[in-house]
Structure 1
Amino acid sequence: MSQYYSPGMLDTDNTLKLALFPLSPTEPWSPEEVERKMDRIVADIRNASCVEAIGKSMCLTPYSRPEEMNPWDSIRIEGKQMKVFIKQVDGHMQKVFSPRMEEGEWLTDDMCLEDGSFPVVVTRQLIDEVGWTTGMGRKIYFRGMKFTVVGIVAGIKQEVLLPSPPMLIMSMYVPYQNGYGAEYAVRVKEGEEDAFRDLIQKEVDKMMGKDNVMLWIGDVAKWKVNDMQDTFITLLAIGVPTIFLLVFAFIGTFGLFWLYSSKRRKEFALRLVVGSTCGGLFRFVVLEGVLLTLIALVPGCILFCWVYPFSMENLMALGAACAVMMLFSVFSAWWPAYQVSKVNPIEAMREE
């Protein structure tokens, strides 16, 4: 859960990734020409009723490839060398994936600022790794170009359970070459996916011909589910036997408390005779079970300190284990304590 909710999860509901693949040998379109035609199609459908936002980027769409396959570079910032992932976007991509802005604003399609530098958005992870207390307005020099930080995002995760890395997000119009082509992503309105698919297929056929290219559409939300599939299977393999273990542990704990209380009926009857109330006897049995559980937890905690390193995850696991044992103790002792509080002293004293 800590990994899943780490900063940088993009909103992928109702989002699709688009791509065109030339098919006809009689139309030898270059990648640049395909990109220009796709730009025209995107401009034509941007204001369609089924489209909330559509934009163009370079490797921003999450879950489409493993993180290590995304473009990155080694950058020196204020004397510190670091690995930084590089993204390029247009001004519409913020509405498509809704990255959370902490400071400043998203990029526009204006390529340069007044001082001649290029605007850039960075992730909070880059700010923290460099050690800046304030990131806005900072200058970053990269491949002979000067950039100015105009915005800071909480993070951009490319895989569900991996943290967001340090990242530079620059405009699509910055002359940065890395061998990756442009990608297109769209956020469609709820329930309008089929209408959008029909619309863009018609536009592609009209612009490039029915048999010349293949339109490919990927559902980003489904990729997110697939990205978590292996982890889910692993957790399921751990969870099923754990649930059985907890059930049998509860049954065993309940049985021990029940047997323990049944053998002490005369003692409890005497307590009632000498003035103990039913409520007081009930609390006595429950607290006794809790005390026994606390004593039993001591060697477990000592073993934990000996075996496991101190970390937030391990301490949370220890706390969860202790909480489960305390719940088992209370619920296992509750019914025997209730039966003890209702015991008839005369009948209990007659028992052999």
Structure 2
Amino acid sequence: MFKQIIKIIWKQRRSNGWIFMELLMVAAVLWYIADMLWIDMRVYNQPTGYDTENCWRLKLYDLNSSVAGFVSEEERTTTETEDLIALMENIRRETEVENVCASFYSHPYSWGNSWSSLEPVEGDTATARTRSYQTRRVTPEFFDVFRVKDKHGNAITPQLPPGEPCYVISEDMEKHFFEGKEGKGQRVRNNLQGNSVLVAAVSTPIRASDYDISDPCFFDVMVGSRLELMVKGFNASSAEVCLRMKRAMTLEEMYLFLESMGERLTVNNIYVYGAYSIAQQREDIIRSYRNESRTKIALMGFMLVNVFFGIIGTFWLRTQHRRGEIGLRIAMGSTPGGISRFMNLESLSLLLLTLPFILLFVGNMAFLDIIESGRIPISWERILPVVFATYLLLGIIIWLGIRIPARKAASLPPAEALRHE
């Protein structure tokens, strides 16, 4: 039957040519949109490397010298670092708080943009010297607050040497530096600091947001003099003090909780004046990505609706012109169901003939680097599923679009159909 269908398509190539071109253009555009949506969904569903549920960031500020309670330098008995640690301890003692940490431009969805050059003491230093890596400066509690695990799924905090500055590198960096060897226990050198630092653990890959892929990065675990140096450089009020609550809270409940702490939220000149949910910050950051995805879905839906009505109109007209042929088939013994199946197979075969041209189009787009390749590399594992999904969707639309005119044509009395022959 397929051979017969091909002959009919070729005999009617003048009218079929326009339908073929329409299907070819629609398949190309739909594949392009579907490919972008597939990348977004694939990247979105990958683990981010952290958990921000019930996590909040506190807003810190310094008391003004004109405000009552301001402590001058002459009256101070503690350093800013000690004040920051004391503030965190005050918060940690609360029964509703699970844990508290501090970081500098490093908490999830903060868009921290701190980069440093890093190279392994023993490993491939040639590639390391050609690039910089994102640095996340955090206190040891950071891994508990955001539940960052090592690559084996274990807690990281117990693996850190107490009171000693160290690094935690991501699994991407381990592969980049040590080529199949264990990164834990190795030493790396930061060109800014000069001395080598212990790699205490290897975390899972870390992503900046739900729509970004992971890149090699490392955590600079701040304790002792290292934390003191960061506070001196950026001030304690610039620290990202984040906490994980034991239960979900609304913004109003969080502010009531802070009010209940009263003066414990002030240590010398540092005080907490508010908080915001990191989950809400996440929503604000990925909103533009989601809006873009919705636009792609709306565009695809609009195209599919137009294809649906276009196919109905096209095949309705074709059916009107082929009444004689349909009458002959019915007179020769074809059933209404057989007529309907034949017309569906003819249309789907016409769609299938566009496949080699679509594959050529996709290959050309990949060769010219027009389609995205940064987040997911171009491969047959990416191209074939999207092509299959595109043709499956078009096939369903064609089947639905032909169903009405095909059934109407099949129900035509043979005498009436033969009158047009």
Normalised by the shorter chain, which TM-score bucket? 0.7 to 0.9
Post-superposition offset of 1:90:
3.6
**1:42 paired to 2:111:** no
- Show the counterpart of 1:184: 241
- Show the counterpart of 2:181: 134
- Aligned partner (choices 105, 113, 118) of residue 75 of structure 1: 118
Q: Which moved more, 1:138-147 or 1:287-296?
A: 138-147
Instruction: Check 1:206–1:174 CA distance in 2 against 1; reply closer, same or farther (3 A cut).
Output: closer
- Show the counterpart of 1:97: 146
Contact between 1:56 and 1:182, CA under 8 Å: does it hold in 2? yes
- Distance in 1 separating the partners of 2:72 and 2:272: 13
Contact between 1:111 and 1:173, CA under 8 Å: does it hold in 2? no
Contact between 2:166 and 2:220, CA under 8 Å: does it hold in 1? yes
- Show the counterpart of 2:276: 218
Q: How big is each residue's C-alpha offset from its partner over 1:129-175, in whole Å with a ceiling of 9 and x where there is no partner?
A: 22421324341232354444343222222344332322222432164
- Show the counterpart of 1:61: 107
- Aligned partner (choices 249, 257, 260) of residue 199 of structure 1: 257
Within a 5 Å distance, the mapping from 1:1-352 to structure 2 comes to: 1=40, 2-26=42-66, 27-28=70-71, 33-46=79-92, 48-65=94-111, 67=112, 69-70=113-114, 72-77=115-120, 78=123, 79-80=125-126, 81=128, 82-103=131-152, 105-108=155-158, 111-112=161-162, 119-142=166-189, 143-173=193-223, 175-176=225-226, 177=229, 179-180=233-234, 182-188=239-245, 189-191=247-249, 193-203=251-261, 205-206=263-264, 208=266, 213-309=271-367, 311-312=378-379, 318-350=387-419
Instruction: Check 1:250–1:29 CA distance in 2 against 1; reply closer, same or farther (3 A cut).
Output: farther
- Distance in 1 separating the partners of 2:352 and 2:257: 66
Contact between 2:54 and 2:248, CA under 8 Å: does it hold in 1? yes
Post-superposition offset of 1:29:
6.5
Q: Secondary structure at the match of 1:42?
A: helix
Contact between 1:20 and 1:215, CA under 8 Å: does it hold in 2? yes
Q: Secondary structure at the match of 2:157?
A: coil
Which amino acid letter does the alignment assign opposite residue 405 of structure 2?
A: P
- Distance in 1 separating the partners of 2:323 and 2:87: 84
1 or 2, which has the higher helix percentage? 2
- Distance in 1 separating the partners of 2:345 and 2:363: 27
- Distance in 1 separating the partners of 2:157 and 2:264: 32
- Distance in 2 separating the partners of 1:238 and 1:325: 17
- Distance in 1 separating the partners of 2:132 and 2:167: 17
Q: TM-score normalised to the size of structure 1? A: 0.81
Contact between 1:41 and 1:203, CA under 8 Å: does it hold in 2? no
Instruction: Check 1:76–1:168 CA distance in 2 against 1; reply closer, same or farther (3 A cut).
Output: same
Structure 1 unmatched ranges of 5 or more: none
Instruction: Check 1:175–1:165 CA distance in 2 against 1; reply closer, same or farther (3 A cut).
Output: farther
Post-superposition offset of 1:61:
1.0
Which amino acid letter does the alignment assign opposite residue 141 of structure 2?
A: H
Post-superposition offset of 1:120:
3.4
- Distance in 2 separating the partners of 1:118 and 1:4: 33
The two structures, once aligned, show a CA RMSD in angstroms of: 3.5
Aligned sequence identity (%): 20
Q: Which moved more, 1:153-162 or 1:173-182?
A: 173-182
1 or 2, which has the higher strand percentage? 1
Contact between 2:84 and 2:270, CA under 8 Å: does it hold in 1? no
- Distance in 2 separating the partners of 1:74 and 1:317: 39
Q: How big is each residue's C-alpha offset from its partner over 1:307-328, in whole Å with a ceiling of 9 and x where there is no partner?
A: 4437246666655543443332
- Distance in 2 separating the partners of 1:152 and 1:212: 34
Q: Which moved more, 1:342-351 or 1:263-272?
A: 342-351
